Structure formats: structure tokens, C-alpha cells
């Protein structure tokens, strides 16, 4: 159909396949080209989605007649591929984390402004229906003043691709903090509306992965391990973020720790609060009719979050709505993550 948004996908690994599935389900999107350095992935995804234009070099894909691209390569390539795509006049849906650090992220944001193209960052947790509902409660004042956030994601043994790009700082930018922390920080700040982190005090630890051959695990995302590879990133990060004198956020984020798996974000206001991403039905903790009360909104989680993310991106490319997560917010997240690393390295509180 003539008015479909023609998209290309660069990087056809775990998440590239998820983007392809989401575009296939989006009525206004057409997967017009794909790219990966791995021939087998090009053939598999090209065959599955009947995509004829297949490239091994993303610069060749960018010469094609496309409106937009999803950038689904490893973190180290985000900046160079994003800059090339924007220069080639494509809108971009850029996977998280936006880049290896805030400096790189700022380069991408500036290039987007110059090219007048849409940049949407892959902050897919925003697309959960619970996230939308709780944000709406916050915006309508039901929670009163939000003064504290708790963001926790602990995996007992969850180091991904040990020895590969995930655990090599030069390729990933860091460990669970940049990989998962970016989702937690984004969701907490998006729901609460607290977008001005000012100071951070944090400690990072590397206790499990650094001794590659002695890392015991049950299963491994992006495995098997490469024992000849590198693991020079943290596996645990904990700290306190200040939002001036107004509010705070405590976080604990781990790929590995000797404790139970646990995951949640608490949003605490003086009139109400909620815990999200804990896998349980939503409860609003509040007061009602002079009583301490729980409110249990009945929510239909509905569509797949990656499908929603792709739908919004396609609509943004058509000029129908803003992108779901902006480059400016991506830069703020990267500044916060940089500050966590700086605080841990320096052994002191630092400005964001
Ligand atoms: N939003 C989410 O929840 C989520 C989940 C997983 C991964 N991610 C992000 O997606 C990105 C990719 O992660 P992944 O798990 O899919 O990694 P992956 O290693 O499974 O896939 C990366 C793909 O990029 C290809 N590639 C490498 N160099 C290339 C190049 N120069 N040109 C084209 N293709 C190239 C690889 O061959 C591979 O197929 C990362 O930034 C990661 O943080 C996001």
C-alpha cells in the first residue's frame, strides 16, 4: 500500500526479531529491508517475513528507499549506526540503552534535531498498561506529592552472554546498570514525572562474572558462555539518587547475587502509592472514607508492549503523534547512568 511506512531493521538478533514481529503486526508498516553481518540470520528472518532486500552492511541498507529504521545492534554500534541513519534521512527507533554514555547520546540527539527526524528510544516498559494507569493516577493527583521511588531488579544468576559483548565494557558500556537499570530508571521517572535527577551516591560490585570459569548458573540469556572472552563489568549496583530536595530514588540492580530473584518499582506519594513490575495485579495503597484502603483497578494488559512501541513509532513517522520516548529523555538517562559509574569509581556522591 502506498502510504505504508517503509522500515528497515539493522541487527537481527534477539531483539531485532522482536521488532520484525511487531512491524509485521502493525497495519501501517512494511518491513522493506533487513541487515545483519550474519548470513544465517538474514536468511532466516528474510525468509520468515518475505523480505527481499537483505544487506550485510548497514550503510548499503541506508541507501535504500526507506522511511525509518530500527537499530537493534549491540550498544557499541548505537551511535555510529544512528548517526549514519539520521544523515541518510531516516527516522530511527533506537534500542536501549541509547548509547554507551551521555556524550554519545547527546551526539545522537543533536543529529536528530539537525536532520529533523524522529528519534524514539526503545523504552518498552512504558508500554505496559499498568505503567499508563499508574502514571495517570499520578498526573491526576491521586498520589499527592511523590517523594520517593524504589527500583529493584535482582537476578540470582542472570549474567547474559558471559564473555560476550554484554559483559565487555568497551562493547556494552557496563553491566546490569546500563542493561536493565536504564529500563528501571526510565519507568520510575516516566511514571512519577521526576525528570531532574541532581545527585547520586552509588556502589557497584563485580563478584560473580569476573572469574568466568567459576560462574555457576542454571540458564543463560545470550549464552553459551565464551570462556576466552571478557567480563569486566559490574554485576551489582546499588545507590541513592536525589531529585534536588524534592524526592529520592533508591535502586538495587543485579545480574547475580546470593538472594532470591525480585523485581519491582515502588512509587510513594503522600496520598497514595503503588508497586509496579512485580508480576502481581495492581494495588493502589491509599486511604478512602477515613480508612486505610487498597484500590484494585481491573486492568486489561492487552497488546504486546513491543507491538505498541512499534505502532507509536510508525504513527510518529507519519506525523500523527510524538515519539513514545524522546532523545532528550534518553540523554538524561545516560547522564544518570554515567553519574552512577562515576560515584562508584570515585567513592563519593556526584552531580548528575
Ligand atoms: N528493549 C529490550 O527490552 C531489549 C531486550 C534485549 C536487547 N535489547 C537491546 O537490543 C540491542 C541488541 O541486543 P540483542 O540481545 O538483540 O543482541 P544480539 O547479539 O542477539 O543481536 C545483535 C545482532 O546484531 C548483529 N550485528 C553485529 N554487528 C552488526 C553490524 N555491524 N551490522 C549489522 N548487524 C550487526 C549481530 O550479528 C546480531 O545478530 C542491545 O542494545 C540491547 O541492549 C533491548
User: CB within 8 A of 228, min separation 6: which ones?
Assistant: 163
**Choice from 22, 73, 164, 313 to test ligand 1 binding pocket (greatest atom count within 8 A of CB):** 73
Q: Is residue 313 part of a domain?
A: no
Residue 318 domain-assigned? no
Boundary (domain end) residue, out of 102, 122, 142: 122
Domain contains 320: no
What is the tally of structural domains in the chain?
Answer: 2
Ligand 1 neighbour 71 (Cβ under 6 A): no
Ligand 1 atom with the smallest distance to the CA of 123 is 1
Residue 221 alpha carbon, nearest atom of ligand 1:
15
Is residue 327 in some structural domain? no
Measured distance CA(259)–CA(98) in Å, rounded: 30
Q: Say yes or no: CB of residue 13 within 6 Å of ligand 1.
A: yes
Instruction: State which residues form the domain around 198.
Output: 126-305+333-351
Which residue's CA lies nearest to atom 43 of ligand 1? 96
* 79 in a structural domain: yes
Q: How does pLDDT run along the chain (352 residues), one tens digit per residue?
A: 458 999 999 999 999 999 999 999 999 999 999 999 999 999 999 999 999 999 999 999 999 999 999 999 999 999 999 999 999 999 999 999 999 999 999 999 999 999 999 999 999 999 999 999 999 999 999 999 999 999 999 999 999 999 999 999 999 999 999 999 999 999 999 999 999 999 999 999 999 999 999 999 999 999 999 999 999 999 999 999 999 999 999 999 999 999 999 999 999 999 999 999 999 999 999 999 999 999 999 998 877 999 999 999 999 999 999 999 999 999 999 999 999 999 999 999 999 9
Q: Are residues 29 and 59 in the same domain?
A: yes
**Which atom belonging to ligand 1 lies closest to the Cα atom of 15?**
16
Q: Determine which residue's CA is closest to atom 4 belonging to ligand 1.
A: 15
Tell me how far CA of residue 235 lies from CA of 98, 200, 321, 347, in angstroms.
20, 19, 38, 17
- The confidence score (pLDDT) of residue 1 equals 47
Ligand 1 contact, 122 CB (< 6 A): yes
Q: Does the C-beta of 72 come closer than 6 Å to ligand 1?
A: yes
Residue 59 to residue 34: CA distance in whole angstroms: 12
Q: How many CB atoms lie within 10 A of CB 303?
A: 14
**Separation of CA 77 and ligand 1 centre (Å):** 9
For residue 195, report the distance from its CA to the centre of ligand 1, in Å.
28
Is residue 323 in a domain?
A: no
Mutate to test the pocket of ligand 1, among 15, 62, 79, 159 (most ligand atoms within 8 A of CB): 15
β-pairing, 68-71 with 91-94? parallel
- Could you say which of 104, 122, 140 is where a domain stops? 122
- CATH code for the domain in which residue 12 is found: 3.40.50.720
Query: Residue 12: CB within 6 Å of ligand 1?
Result: yes
CATH for 286: 3.30.360.10
186 in Cβ contact with 126 (< 8 Å): yes
Distance 298 CA to ligand 1 centre (A): 36
Amino acid at each position: 500500500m502506498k502510504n505504508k511506512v517503509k522500515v528497515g531493521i539493522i541487527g537481527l538478533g534477539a531483539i531485532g526479531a522482536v521488532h520484525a514481529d511487531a512491524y509485521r503486526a502493525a497495519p501501517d508498516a512494511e518491513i522493506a529491508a533487513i541487515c545483519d553481518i550474519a548470513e544465517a540470520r538474514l536468511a532466516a528472518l528474510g525468509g520468515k517475513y518475505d523480505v527481499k532486500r537483505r544487506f550485510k552492511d548497514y550503510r548499503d541498507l541506508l541507501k535504500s528507499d526507506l522511511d525509518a529504521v530500527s537499530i537493534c545492534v549491540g550498544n557499541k554500534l548505537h551511535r555510529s549506526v544512528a548517526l549514519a541513519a539520521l544523515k541518510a534521512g531516516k527516522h530511527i527507533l533506537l534500542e536501549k540503552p541509547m548509547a554507551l554514555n551521555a556524550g554519545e547520546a547527546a551526539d545522537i540527539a543533536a543529529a536528530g534535531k539537525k536532520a529533523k527526524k524522529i528519534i524514539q528510544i526503545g523504552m518498552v516498559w512504558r508500554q505496559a498498561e499498568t505503567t499508563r494507569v499508574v502514571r495517570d493516577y499520578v498526573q491526576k493527583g491521586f498520589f499527592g506529592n511523590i517523594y520517593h521511588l524504589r527500583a529493584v531488579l535482582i537476578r540470582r544468576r542472570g549474567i547474559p552472554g558471559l564473555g560476550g559483548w554484554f559483559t565487555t565494557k568497551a562493547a556494552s558500556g557496563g553491566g546490569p546498570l546500563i542493561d536493565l537499570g536504564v529500563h528501571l530508571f526510565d519507568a520510575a521517572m516516566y511514571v512519577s514525572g521526576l525528570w531532574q535527577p541532581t545527585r547520586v551516591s552509588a556502589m557497584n560490585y563485580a563478584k560473580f562474572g569476573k572469574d568466568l570459569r567459576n560462574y555457576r548458573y542454571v540458564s543463560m540469556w545470550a549464552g553459551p558462555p565464551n570462556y576466552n572472552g571478557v567480563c569486566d563489568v559490574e554485576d551489582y549496583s546499588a545507590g541513592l539518587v536525589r531529585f534536588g530536595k524534592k524526592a529520592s530514588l533508591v535502586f538495587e540492580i543485579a545480574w547475580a547475587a546470593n538472594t532470591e530473584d525480585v523485581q519491582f518499582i515502588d512509587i510513594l506519594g503522600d496520598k497514595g502509592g503503588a508497586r509496579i513490575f512485580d508480576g502481581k495485579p495492581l494495588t493502589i495503597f491509599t486511604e478512602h472514607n477515613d480508612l486505610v484502603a487498597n484500590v484494585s483497578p481491573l486492568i486489561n494488559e492487552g497488546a504486546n508492549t513491543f507491538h505498541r512501541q512499534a505502532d507509536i513509532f510508525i504513527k510518529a513517522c507519519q506525523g500523527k503523534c510524538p515519539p513514545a520516548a524522546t532523545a532528550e529523555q534518553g540523554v538524561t538517562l545516560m547522564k544518570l547512568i554515567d553519574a552512577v559509574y562515576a560515584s562508584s569509581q570515585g567513592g563519593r556522591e556526584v552531580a548528575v
